[in-house]
Amino acid sequence: PHLSEILNLHDFEAIAKLVMVEKAWAYYSSAADDEITNRENHMAYHRIWFRPKILVDVEKVDFSTTILGQKSSMPFYITATALGKLGHPDGELNLTRAAGKSGVIQMIPTLSSCSFDELVDGAAPGQPQFYQLYVNKDRNITKKLVQRAEQRGIKGLFITVDAPQLGRREKDMRQKFEDDGADVQKGNRVERNQGAARAISSFIDPSLNWKDIEWFKSITKMPLVLKGVQRAEDAIKAYDAGVAGVVLSNHGGRQMDFARSGIEILCEVVKAFREQRNICFPHPGFELYVDGGVRRATDVLKAIALGATAVGIGRPFLYAYSSYGQEGIDKAMVILRDEFEMNMRLLGATSLKEIGPELVDAGSIHQH
């Protein structure tokens, strides 16, 4: 179908399933075990309802924001997803260019197919970028990656903390991962015949723990964010450890099956901070993000209402560029922009600051 027939982010997934080569589709779409968490990620948003305000002058609405102090035209960022060239020869560069064009921030993955320098060089002047870190068993390698990122102007370091071992993604494991050199940067190729994920991940250090946070603070001045926090206790621990934020996430359902959705964790985290630290969100100096299953601007607005600063979106952009190249992502951005504008008008909010818990009914999300 022509791009003009694409009406929402779900459509990209349906097209991608038809047009992508099987190995790439298996890697991008797969999730852990029975994929229950993956399904729940989007379904959890169905349990939250809006309480729109009427008779507000909504002629002008503004949905721009800042994430870790960096301007973003919309309240989401493109989250890190590995192996960008499986879906399209330009790989993650598609995301870099589309991010620059639409004024949103891309998080560059450790396991990008394009090299880190290519993705930084591919950005427009002044375009902010974040970096996602998988921590290597060899801390010298990690230290070099982190300091290289800082030198090259990366604005935030997202340390993935939900992957001491990669989850079991059976759809992906059924595919033989042929090392054709195009998919992954040199030095990261290890095992074959176990799917793409396992082939590239054996360097990740399962001994990573809370004590390492101090070490990260000693080697970089970039704001640190823990990606993959799943309970209030750990979010508070992260706050006390002095990091700049946490991503409430289950890794797109790709790690532990039956982990809860990010939006559900958000409710628990916000309540715990209110009760135990007397803190309300958004809170300067410590930001909450959510990812997993975000497919509509309404999903994003729900997360904002409940206290998130922004959300991460992953698969929809992969499906968009795998099917249509960069134009696909550009189209996804236009769709989201239109959805934000309309839904803020319908909600009766002219800026994101006006979107708080009073605009949603999250009563059927279990609160601890």
Residues marked as catalytic: 134, 162, 251
Please count the CA atoms within 13 angstroms of the CA of 317 that sit on its side-chain side. Answer: 32
Residue where the block lists tokens 């015949």: 193
CA distance 243 to 72: 21
Cα torsion through 144, 146, 148, 150, rounded to 10:
-150
Question: Is cis: bond before 282, omega within 30 of 0?
Answer: yes
Instruction: Give me the residues that bind ligand FNR (CB under 6 A), please.
Output: 27-28, 41, 79-82, 109, 111, 132, 160, 227, 249, 251-252, 254, 291-294, 312-315
Of 24 and 120, CB closest to ligand FNR: 24
Q: Which residue is nearest to ligand FNR (CB)?
A: 314
Cβ-based burial of 185 (10 A; exposed 0-12, middle 13-18, buried ≥19): middle
Of 80 and 244, CB closest to ligand FNR: 80
Of 79 and 230, CB closest to ligand FNR: 79
**Alpha-carbon Rg for the chain in angstroms:** 19
Phi, psi of 8 (to 5 degrees): -155, 175
Instruction: Output the smallest distance, CB 254 to ligand FNR, in A.
Output: 6
DSSP letter (8 states) at residue 346: H
Q: Are 292 and 260 in contact (CB under 8 A)?
A: no
Of 39 and 283, CB closest to ligand FNR: 39
Of 332 and 359, CB closest to ligand FNR: 332
Phi, psi of 306 (to 5 degrees): -90, 0
Query: In the structure encoding, which two tokens stand for residue 337, read together?
Result: 């922009």
CA distance 14 to 31: 17
Instruction: Output the smallest distance, CB 269 to ligand FNR, in A.
Output: 16
- Does residue 251 come out as left (phi exceeding 0), alpha (psi in the -120 to 50 range) or beta? left
Residue where the block lists tokens 């950005």: 123
Instruction: Output the smallest distance, CB 345 to ligand FNR, in A.
Output: 25
